[in-house]
């Protein structure tokens, strides 16, 4: 593998999974294809029951696919299960720590199961505890940890054996914003320092911004897959709002010199363009009016989700719908 063209870290073809049979048949995953380049952070977005966990479980060799194939870190998830397992780290949606053991004991157990040599194990345990800032709590029983601390410990544990691919199933669910941010900081830090590929599922649209590429899954299918930027551009235009000394003059010159129609909106000159970043420099060179401030608003991933699935991600999650909040956004 080393000197040839690099194989994708994850490649999936026609992967399906059905649960039950007959009338009870649930097609949780309906033939998905995807490819994740080594070193990328890949986000998997979708509402409850979309099939995210089922997909991750197949990629992690815990469930056998009903049909189709998947290769992870260069090995087939069915035929070469142990080879895959040695090269991946996992953080499940549900807790999988031994609450009665200490943080250190949990990590030690993991290092032993993955066959790390003594010296390496000690060094890695120190490193990962350091990374998630739990070094000073290593001797405490896990049941005394907060939810966020447990999550951080699980991420640390998933990294003990230096996996090539790290799978995280909803790593930030139910955590407060600070802890969520901290977890993403660790992931960014990790990516800066290593070649690791990260495959992460999430409900939180804002977190998808951290990913190099994202796939939106709905009802067992991938409805769209691209970079967050490309997805946002695909669903709409950027909005530029200007504060100027002379709004009338600015609107006039926008029309004459740039051919852009603008209007007053909430006390600002507001215009819609395809690529905000390309228009802003021209405003300064070509308008010849005094501009006090410029705000460019890009479409959000919520808009993307809305465009491709016909509803917001919170709509699909039942009662505590925040749809109203989002409806008023644009």
Partner 1 sequence: MAAPVREPLTVVRGDLSHQLRATWVVCRRELLRFGKDKARMLTMLLQPLLFIFVMGTGLGSIVDTGGGTDFRTFLFPGVLATSVLFTAAFSGISLVWDREFGFLREMMVAPISRSSIIWGKCLGGAIVATGQSLILLALIGTVGIPYSPVLLVQLVGCLFLGSLLLTALGVLLSTRIKTIQAAMPISQMLIMPMMFLSGSLFPVSGLPDWLAVLTKLNPLTYVVQPMRHLVLEQLSLTDVERERLLPVITWFGWSVPVGVQLIAVGAITLALVALAARTFRTVE
Which stretches of the chain bind Mg ion, using CB under 5 A? 52-53, 93
C-beta closer to Mg ion: residue 47 or 89 = 47
Say which entry of ligand ATP, Mg ion, partner 1, none residue 26 contacts (CB below 5 to 8 A, set by partner kind). Answer: ligand ATP
- Paired with 225 in beta bridges are 215
228 touching ligand ATP, by CB under 6 A = no
* 104: Cβ contacts below 8 Å, ≥ 6 apart: 125, 129, 138, 139
Q: Pick from 99, 121, 103: which is nearest to 111 by CA? A: 121
d(Cα 285, Cα 305) in Å, to the nearest integer?
36
93 touching ligand ATP, by CB under 6 A = yes
The residues of the shown chain that bind partner 1, judged by CB under 8 A, are: 60-62, 82, 85-86, 90, 92, 94-101, 105, 109-110, 112-117, 120, 124, 126-128, 130-131, 157, 159, 161-162, 189, 193-196
Cβ 59 vs Cβ 90: under 8 Å: no
* 252: Cβ contacts below 8 Å, ≥ 6 apart: none
Q: HSE of 81 in the Cβ direction (CA atoms, 13 Å)?
A: 8
C-beta closer to partner 1: residue 130 or 256 = 130
C-beta closer to partner 1: residue 110 or 253 = 110
Burial class (CB in 10 A: 0-12, 13-18, 19+), 309: buried
Least CB distance to ligand ATP at residue 47 (A):
7
Q: Pairing between strand 238-244 and 291-297?
A: antiparallel
- Residue 256, token pair as written in the block: 């004459």
Which backbone phi and psi does 53 adopt, to 5 degrees? -65, -40
Per CB under 6 A, which region of 47-55, 222-230, 237-245, 271-279 contacts ligand ATP?
47-55
48 touching ligand ATP, by CB under 6 A = yes
314 touching ligand ATP, by CB under 6 A = no
Least CB distance to Mg ion at residue 39 (A):
25
54 touching ligand ATP, by CB under 6 A = yes
172 touching ligand ATP, by CB under 6 A = no
- Residue 5, token pair as written in the block: 């063209």
Among 41, 53, 106, 300, binds ligand ATP (CB under 6 A): 53
Give contact residues for ligand ATP (rule: CB under 6 A).
19-20, 26, 28, 46, 48-54, 93
């Amino acid at each position: 593998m080393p000197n040839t063209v690099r194989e994708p870290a994850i490649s999936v073809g026609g992967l399906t999974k059905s649960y039950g049979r007959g009338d009870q048949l649930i097609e949780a995953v309906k033939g998905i294809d995807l490819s994740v380049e080594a070193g990328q952070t890949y986000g998997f977005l979708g509402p409850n029951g979309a099939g995210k966990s089922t997909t991750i479980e197949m990629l992690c060799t815990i469930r056998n696919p009903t049909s189709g194939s998947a290769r992870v870190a260069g090995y087939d998830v069915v035929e070469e299960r142990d080879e895959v397992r040695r090269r991946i780290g996992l953080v499940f949606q549900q807790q999988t720590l031994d609450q009665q053991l200490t943080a250190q004991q949990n990590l030690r157990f993991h290092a032993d199961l993955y066959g790390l040599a003594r010296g390496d194990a000690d060094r890695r345990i120190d490193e990962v505890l350091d990374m998630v800032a739990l070094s000073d709590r290593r001797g405490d029983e896990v049941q005394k940890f907060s939810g966020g601390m447990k999550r951080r410990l699980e991420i640390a544990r998933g990294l003990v054996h230096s996996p090539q691919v790290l799978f995280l199933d909803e790593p930030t669910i139910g955590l407060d914003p600070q802890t969520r941010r901290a977890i993403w900081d660790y992931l960014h830090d990790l990516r800066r320092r290593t070649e690791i590929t990260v495959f992460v599922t999430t409900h939180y649209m804002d977190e998808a911004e951290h990913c190099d590429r994202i796939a939106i899954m709905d009802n067992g299918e991938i409805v769209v897959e691209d970079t967050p930027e490309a997805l946002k551009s695909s669903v709409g235009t950027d909005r530029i709002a200007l504060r100027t000394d002379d709004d009338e003059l600015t609107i006039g010159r926008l029309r004459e010199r740039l051919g852009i129609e603008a209007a007053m909106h909430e006390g600002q000159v507001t215009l819609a363009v395809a690529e905000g970043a390309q228009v802003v420099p021209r405003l300064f060179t070509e308008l010849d009016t005094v501009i006090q401030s410029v705000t460019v608003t890009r479409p959000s991933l919520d808009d993307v989700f809305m465009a491709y699935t016909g509803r917001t991600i919170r709509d699909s999650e039942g009662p505590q719908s925040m749809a109203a909040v989002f409806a008023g956004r644009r």
